Structure 1
Amino acid sequence: MTVVNKSKETIATHNGEAYLWIKDSQGQVFKFDRVAHMVDGGVDLDQMRPDECLLAPGHIYRFDKELTNDAL
């Protein structure tokens, strides 16, 4: 996935700043959902849903149909 746009607003997490939303090259918008749970120094991918993506440094974003349709 290639991020082509992101919100100016951020959320402070213990992993650093997370954008409120990101937009990929296909026009899909993902909204920040949560910080990933770490296991043995890595991200446990079992916590991910099919409609989610993971961006460093461990922020999980979930596909948002409403924001995608609004075409930010």
Structure 2
Amino acid sequence: MVGEAKLLKTWSSPFALRIVWALKIKGIEYETIFDHLSNKNASFLPYNPIYKKVPILIHNGKPLAEL
């Protein structure tokens, strides 16, 4: 994966850990951005507007959201 990768997640998400492990195994560098379950950040909504859930992996500005 060439380019910029960001992972939007909560600190307690087991689903986000799967993404973290996969990125580490593949040696992909990424930036982690945390969201709070009780106070959701509105800036994340454009990346997953239908389900409004994290984790979301963003690669070069394009989201890969949890379904």
TM-score normalised by L of structure 1 = 0.26
TM-score normalised by L of structure 2 = 0.27
Q: Which has the higher helix share?
A: 2
Q: Which has the higher strand share?
A: 1
